[in-house]
Structure 1
Amino acid sequence: MSLYSRSLLLAVAVAVAGCAVGPDYKQPDVAVPASFKQQAGWTQAEPSDALHRGAWWELYGDPTLNQLQQRLETSNQTLAQAEAQYRQAQALARGARASFFPSLSAAFSKTRSGQASGGGGTVSLSDGSTVSSGSSGGISNSYQASLGVSWELDLWGKLRRQLESDSASAEASQATLAATKLSQQSELAQNYLQLRVMDAQKRLLDDTVAAYEKAFKLAENQYRAGIVTKADVAQARTQVKSTQAQAIDLKYQRAQLQNAIAVLVGEPPSTFSLAETNDIPGLPQVPATVPSQLLQRRPDIASAERDVRAANALIGVNKAAYYPDITLSASGGFRNDSLSQLLTTPNRYWSIGPDFAMTLFDGGLIRSRVEQAEASYDATVAAYRLSVLTGFREVEDYMVQLDVLKEESGVQQEALDSARESLRLMLNQYRAGTVDFSDVVTVQTTALSNERTVLTLLGSRLTASVQLIAAMGGGWQVEQLGQKE
């Protein structure tokens, strides 16, 4: 290539270096409400999905839960899978970046060939084999050593768009990893809190069995004294056994939760156990002002936005196929029939020049690929907007759920207080012989039902609080945390 040609090609490359076909990325518009319906004080915030969210589970003040979350960080296999997929996406982006640099190759070859020009006969070779030979045929060896360099000029931005797409995909994979981690942390917290509520249910049933056994003994004493019939004794015994059966049933439910926690922390269920405790973790208080960090803090929304960016760049990659590919290549080396004389000046050779390739007719194939990329982009935009709407819906759902459960728990506690008082009065009347034991059984059943409902509502409130934290992307501002009811 002449100096003039090289200068002209360099000038063209510089002139179009800043050009890239296809649309430049613009984040899609989304419908953002001015505030949450269930919470006042919502204001617009800057993007911050990369901010550290902290150990939000510490809000519940349970050391065992804190330790389990630490084990999840290092041993959860779902996280390990997502982390490996993220590394794969990073490697793909590095591969796209490598396309900007020239590629250098080296080769060495030996070729042995024979040719016959006519007549019959054979030629004996040194290794004992024979080949057909004409009257002027023969065997020859050829050796070649070469170096080659090739560099594709990114005149139309195809490589840049591909790098843009792969980099955005890597960022989406990173956000997916964060979303997976938040999901696993949330699942662990919910299972653990429900297990502790179930421990409280078990203690309630054990205490109730003890109380029913006292009522059973009272019925036996009343029967021996001739005050009541044997039917009262049978009813009292039925109450005891029925409640014992309920307590036994909780063992299976607790074992399921414990096994689920074991898998989350990467341990076989057969070697994992959590001892019962007498405390239920505290319920965090939702801050009066919820910051507007939903769009920025939720990693699943961030991942969906990165997918849009990647799809947008692929439109440019496919549009670049309309334009020619230009590659600069050069090669040189040595070629000779003798290995000992290979690396000598008379045997050297070289070549240099550009390669120009362009599709002239493909029956609409390139156009179809561009349309596919554009349709894929539209689909990712719709998925992004849907993820935003879903995020706001989830926050609204969990906020109203917490409000309703709090109100319901207050009324339920009043009902429980009345049931306890009614049971106390009914037992006194039974001791005095003024009521039948069937009346006592009815009041006992009502009281126990109310006791269990109160605990069930507490479990639902704890679960909803974890779900709200996850819906907000993993907690609130540090200065707003730490308050408990």
Structure 2
Amino acid sequence: MINKRNIIGVLAMTLILASCNIYKPYKTPEVNTDVYRTDQPADTVNMALRPWQELFTDPALRSLIDSALANNFDYRTVMLKVTEANAAFSQSRASFFPTLNLSAQENISTIQDMHHTEDYNLSANASWEIDIFGRLRSAKRAAKAALYQSIAYKRAVETQMVSSVASGYYTLLSLDKQLQISEQTLVIWEETVNTMKALKETGGVNEAAVVQSQANYYSVKASIEDLRYNIRASENALRLLIGKPAGEITRGSFDDQKLDVDLQIGIPSQLLANRPDVQQAEAGVRYAFAKTNVARAAFYPKFTITATGGYANGVTVGNTPRFFGNFVGGLLQPIFNAGVNRANLRIAKAQQEEALLAFEKSLVTAGIEVSNTLYNYSTTASKLEARKQQVDALLKSSDYTNELLIAGEATYLEVLTAQQSLLSAQLSYINDQLSQLNNVVNLYHALGGGWERPAEDKK
């Protein structure tokens, strides 16, 4: 009777403690509203919500991105990591259910052909931990947060894949354009060499003019070989991104690339909903919070129920078949373990603070990336306008100095200087155009654009 009363008392106390609010509910960390440094008015319209298929209209680029998302080695590896995390989460849910084991035994013995014994035993054992103090529940939440981290990381790789393919594609097209300009310049400078030779015959210029024009010609010719190598290397880099061996890349024209979009950056709170690395960091906070609760639950008792039942049959004198069963309830309360539980709790709390700092850093980093890219877009737009005017002026300067040289009113140095300045400005203009294309790509990526959103998020 005393034992029964003690057991009932312990169970009652356990239920009373379980009814208390042991754990604080998880709250999503607040998002700083001042992470953007921009004069752009606040608006919930966000370009990151646009599917990448709408932003990038070049059919060849779309095909490359599709291929990368299907075949890229890193992305496929991340998909497997998500599968692993999903399996771990399923395993954590299974811990709420009883475990069941089945055992069958047979023992036959004979002693000098006189004594024969046959024993048969079939038994089942079930064990169930009742999660009164939330240890299993917290472990499940930790596994779920780990799954969210894996999903967020997959999204981060997806957005990086889209932006990397787009940037690599635009770089390749810009190299094509630079090669085109350089080859056109090579033809013009070859004509300049011939002009210098003809003028030398008539005494219009000296041998130095001829040699200097030839030096410029060979300089461009050498740079063309560098461009061809860079084109080949860029093609192979894109082939690696799409998970294919080295080869050519089907592509369009640099002059046809237009990304005329409204650069709407939305509001800072949208970074948590859109940017995968911020989502991953927040899931890290959620994971650390759950692990802290697991560590805290180690201070409380574990209540388990064990049941055993079966059938036994012994074929000996006086033995008859029989059923048997056993039901046990157990309560395990940690009393002394050399401070392990306290140390684990301190470690878990410190890791929770680390996760919170990582989340805050991810927000600040995201805000800086958005601010820098937006400002770079603005300055590059102004630079493009000035560079276009520079190229137009140098085109006229090159034509005028050539005419003046033939008329004997300009020196060969003026002609060569004008041609060199024109080529440099033309190549710089292409690089500025490439920078502006990449600014749009980078802003789209910085805001969290490029990953496939669930259907309910698109409504």
Say whether the fold is shared (TM-score over 0.5).
Answer: yes
Q: Could you tell me whether the CA contact under 8 Å between 1:328 and 1:353 is conserved in 2?
A: yes
TM-aligned CA distance change 1:322 to 1:282, over 3 Å = same
State the partner residue of 2:157.
180
Q: 2:434 aligns with which of 459, 473, 478?
A: 459
Structure 2 portions without partners, runs of 5+: 452-459
> Hey, what's the Cα distance between the residues in 2 that align with 1:417 and 1:345?
109
Report the secondary structure of 2:128's partner residue. Answer: strand
1:68 aligns with 2:64: yes
Report the secondary structure of 1:279's partner residue. Answer: helix
Q: 2:185 aligns with which of 184, 201, 208?
A: 208
TM-aligned CA distance change 1:349 to 1:466, over 3 Å = same
TM-aligned CA distance change 1:278 to 1:306, over 3 Å = closer
1:469 aligns with 2:444: yes
Q: Could you tell me whether the CA contact under 8 Å between 1:22 and 1:315 is conserved in 2?
A: no
Q: Could you tell me whether the CA contact under 8 Å between 1:423 and 1:440 is conserved in 2?
A: yes
Q: 1:298 aligns with which of 271, 275, 284?
A: 275
Q: Shift of the alpha carbon at 1:220?
A: 2.2
State the partner residue of 2:454.
none
Q: Shift of the alpha carbon at 1:346?
A: 3.2
> Hey, what's the Cα distance between the residues in 1 that align with 2:413 and 2:402?
11
Name the amino acid aligned to 1:103: T
Q: 2:87 aligns with which of 86, 91, 113?
A: 91
Q: Could you tell me whether the CA contact under 8 Å between 2:402 and 2:415 is conserved in 1?
A: yes
Q: Could you tell me whether the CA contact under 8 Å between 2:189 and 2:217 is conserved in 1?
A: yes
> Hey, what's the Cα distance between the residues in 2 that align with 1:461 and 1:252?
24
1:38 aligns with 2:49: no
> Hey, what's the Cα distance between the residues in 1 that align with 2:178 and 2:380?
18
Q: 1:390 aligns with which of 365, 368, 379?
A: 365
User: TM-score, normalized by length of structure 1?
Assistant: 0.84
> Hey, what's the Cα distance between the residues in 2 that align with 1:112 and 1:288?
82
How many residue pairs get aligned? The number is 448
Identity over aligned pairs, percent? 26
Deviations 1:29-55 (CA, angstroms, capped at 9, x unpaired): 34222x84324221469xx9xx99453
TM-aligned CA distance change 1:125 to 1:419, over 3 Å = farther
Name the amino acid aligned to 1:361: F
Q: Shift of the alpha carbon at 1:112?
A: 6.7
Deviations 1:129-150 (CA, angstroms, capped at 9, x unpaired): xxxxxxxxx9966432111211
1:143 aligns with 2:144: no
Q: Could you tell me whether the CA contact under 8 Å between 1:200 and 1:280 is conserved in 2?
A: no
Q: Which structure 2 residues correspond to residues 163-174 of structure 1 after superposition, within 5 A?
A: 163-174=140-151
Bigger helix fraction: 2
Name the amino acid aligned to 1:429: L
> Hey, what's the Cα distance between the residues in 1 that align with 2:66 and 2:7?
60
Deviations 1:55-81 (CA, angstroms, capped at 9, x unpaired): 325424311001101111211111111
Q: 1:107 aligns with which of 103, 116, 119?
A: 103
> Hey, what's the Cα distance between the residues in 2 that align with 1:194 and 1:59?
17
Q: Could you tell me whether the CA contact under 8 Å between 1:42 and 1:291 is conserved in 2?
A: yes
TM-aligned CA distance change 1:152 to 1:216, over 3 Å = same
> Hey, what's the Cα distance between the residues in 1 that align with 2:305 and 2:189?
92
Q: Shift of the alpha carbon at 1:328?
A: 0.7
Q: Could you tell me whether the CA contact under 8 Å between 1:426 and 1:440 is conserved in 2?
A: yes
Structure 1 portions without partners, runs of 5+: 115-122, 127-137, 477-485
> Hey, what's the Cα distance between the residues in 1 that align with 2:86 and 2:14?
29
Name the amino acid aligned to 1:153: I
Name the amino acid aligned to 2:30: D
Report the secondary structure of 1:322's partner residue. Answer: coil
Q: Could you tell me whether the CA contact under 8 Å between 1:20 and 1:158 is conserved in 2?
A: no
> Hey, what's the Cα distance between the residues in 1 that align with 2:326 and 2:422?
96
Deviations 1:222-281 (CA, angstroms, capped at 9, x unpaired): 223343223322222222211111111011212221111111111011x44335746341
Q: Could you tell me whether the CA contact under 8 Å between 2:174 and 2:434 is conserved in 1?
A: yes
